[in-house]
């Protein structure tokens, strides 16, 4: 009976299992030869041959392969379980900014599940303003009606913009609105989605 508190505990002996692990690495990368694996890992043929012949377990290569291919670390290590990790989480890290007293202050980054983000973002940022978090797109071709991150005389805010005739726009918040020339403001990014924290 196992006394381990880890139900999936495995024992890895660094001096055995190398041959099988290296063969799994070749398979995981889709190579047909160990030479191709050596070339990819940027190690000499003799280095790989030594590990293979001595049956030395290649933990460093296993980790690299798992990161690069998404193949199951358990399968690469033991040869057991599913080879592919299904429903692998795809994430995206985007820069985070906080609006504080009209200033836009860089504040680290967020890592989002890609399915949470609006489709087709090419240069996104997250902007926090009070309890609102805005996912904004910095790349755009035209400013149409909608919510935008703008700069008015050095003061940043998220506002609703409505285009008017003759180069004029209406800039609105829930509290107030005003009209000005489009050239009077600088548009920074288009708000693509909004979440509210309570």
Q: Is residue 7 part of a domain?
A: no
The pLDDT, as a whole number, for residue 81 is: 82
The pLDDT, as a whole number, for residue 70 is: 87
Last residue of a domain, one of 78, 102, 128: 78
Nearest by Cα to 113 from 83, 90, 146: 90
Do 100 and 174 lie in a common domain? yes
CA distances from residue 149 to 16, 37, 44 in whole angstroms, order as listed: 58, 48, 53
Distance, CA of 167 to CA of 137 (rounded, Å):
23
Q: Is residue 13 part of a domain?
A: no
Q: Which domain holds residue 38?
A: 18-78
Q: Is residue 59 part of a domain?
A: yes
- CB under 8 Å, gap of 24 or more: what pairs does 119-127 form? 121/192, 124/92, 124/94, 124/192, 125/94, 125/95, 125/96, 125/97, 125/189, 126/94, 126/95, 126/96, 126/97, 127/96, 127/97, 127/98, 127/99, 127/158, 127/189
> pLDDT digit of tens for each residue in the chain (198 aa)?
445 565 555 566 666 788 999 999 999 999 999 999 999 999 999 999 999 999 999 999 999 999 988 898 889 988 888 887 654 457 889 999 999 999 999 999 998 888 788 888 999 999 999 999 999 999 999 999 999 999 999 999 999 999 999 999 999 988 899 999 999 999 999 999 998 765
Do 29 and 61 lie in a common domain? yes
Q: Is residue 142 part of a domain?
A: yes
Distance, CA of 61 to CA of 121 (rounded, Å):
34
Q: Length of the chain, please?
A: 198
Last residue of a domain, one of 41, 57, 78: 78
Do 96 and 162 lie in a common domain? yes
17: region left, alpha or beta (phi > 0 left; psi from -120 to 50 alpha) = left
Distance, CA of 96 to CA of 94 (rounded, Å):
6
Distance, CA of 184 to CA of 20 (rounded, Å):
67
CATH number, domain of 22, equals 1.10.260.40
Do 28 and 101 lie in a common domain? no
Do 33 and 110 lie in a common domain? no
Do 71 and 153 lie in a common domain? no
Do 65 and 106 lie in a common domain? no
* Contact between residue 137 and residue 177 where contact means Cβ atoms under 8 Å apart: no
Q: Is residue 53 part of a domain?
A: yes
The pLDDT, as a whole number, for residue 3 is: 53
CATH number, domain of 185, equals 2.10.109.10
Do 192 and 140 lie in a common domain? yes
Do 74 and 95 lie in a common domain? no
- Tokens standing for residue 189: 């990014």
């Amino acid at each position: 009976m196992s006394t381990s508190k880890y139900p999936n505990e495995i024992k890895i002996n660094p001096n055995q299992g190398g041959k099988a692990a290296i063969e799994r690495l070749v398979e995981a990368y889709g190579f047909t030869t160990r030479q191709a694996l050596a070339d990819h890992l940027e190690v000499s043929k003799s280095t790989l041959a030594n590990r293979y012949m001595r049956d030395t377990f290649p933990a460093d290569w296993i980790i690299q392969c798992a990161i690069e291919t998404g193949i199951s670390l358990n399968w690469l290590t033991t040869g057991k379980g599913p080879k592919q990790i299904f429903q692998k989480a795809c994430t995206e890290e985007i820069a985070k900014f906080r609006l504080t007293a009209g200033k836009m202050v860089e504040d680290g980054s967020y890592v989002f599940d890609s399915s949470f983000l609006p489709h087709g973002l090419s240069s996104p940022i997250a902007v926090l303003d009070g309890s609102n978090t805005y996912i904004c797109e910095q790349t755009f071709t035209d400013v149409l009606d909608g919510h935008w991150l703008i700069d008015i005389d050095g003061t940043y805010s998220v506002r609703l913009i409505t285009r008017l005739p003759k180069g004029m726009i209406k800039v609105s918040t829930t509290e107030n609105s005003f009209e000005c020339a489009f050239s009077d403001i600088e548009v920074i990014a288009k708000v693509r989605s909004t979440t509210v924290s309570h």
